[in-house]
Amino acid sequence: MQLIPAIDLKNGQCVRLKQGLMEQATVFSDSPAKMAQHWLEQGARRLHLVDLNGAFAGEPKNFPAIAEILAAVSAHIPVQLGGGIRDLATIEKYLNLGLTDVIIGTAAVKNPLFVREACRGFAGHIIVGLDAKDGMVAIDGWATVTEHRVADLSQQFEHDGVNSIIYTDIGRDGMMSGVNIEATVNLARAVNIPIIASGGLTNLDDVRALCAVQHEGIAGAITGRAIYEGTIQFNEAQQLADALTAA
């Protein structure tokens, strides 16, 4: 079970949101690159970046900060990024810069053909991020809840060739209320590609709960506010996950 520190970028700063609300941003660092280096030193094996401004604007908005992060850590660990990725040229630009995987979210729902084209052009580097409320997919920075079921779209994107699905429970993201284990397991059972859990990871009990269901197809969990506010010590949590999921 891989725990993945999140670095959410807003106006070049490292922040965390509550339930996806831009006005509910807490700034944790003015130097995202130093933050990335910190998590590398704490034992992170992958980083999760989100261009929050880009997610709302529909195009990259934190490119300088992202470039600095990649320069600092991409030679050591994989880095994935979502937010504002709407065309193949943007994907190519990021991958050439050193990004390992791009995450397609809103664009995947609005334009499924884009996912298919991305998988063909950049096989093995495409992740789809599906954010949901009560099992229904939300888009546009969570501003709009659609009529699409998470499981249905996940099966479609699996067929297209994405390498994994990041599943975020909107109601729990940034709220320190625990992971929605049941919903995450249900989605993992619906597909044959790895699921990365996101939203609500708060303490070591959540790590234990996720590790207990790893065999269902849950490959990792993204953690944000908990590691910034200290309810989880990242290195301790990763060591626990390793011990609980050792082959």
Q: Which two tokens stand for residue 143?
A: 């501003």
Task: Establish whether 8 is a catalytic residue.
Answer: yes
Per the CB < 8 A criterion, the answer to whether 91 and 102 are in contact is: yes
Identify any residues that bridge with 115 across adjacent strands, giving them in sequence order.
none
Looking from the CA of 211 toward its CB, the CA atoms found within 13 Å total 20
Of 105, 93, 87, the C-alpha closest to 63 is 93
For 23-67, the DSSP string reads EEEEEEES-HHHHHHHHHHTT-S-EEEEEHHHHHHTS---HHHHH
Q: How far is 231 from 222, CA to CA, in rounded Å?
A: 15
140 is catalytic: no
CA distance 142 to 102: 19
Identify any residues that bridge with 10 across adjacent strands, giving them in sequence order.
13
Q: Are 166 and 103 in contact (CB under 8 A)?
A: yes
In whole angstroms, what is the distance from residue 129 CA to residue 74 CA? 21
Quote the tokens at residue 241: 């996950």
- Among candidate residues 51, 131, 169, 206, the one labeled active-site is 131
Q: Report whether 3 contacts 47 (CB < 8 A).
A: no
State whether residue 179 is helix, strand or coil.
coil
Q: Which residues are known to be catalytic?
A: 8, 131
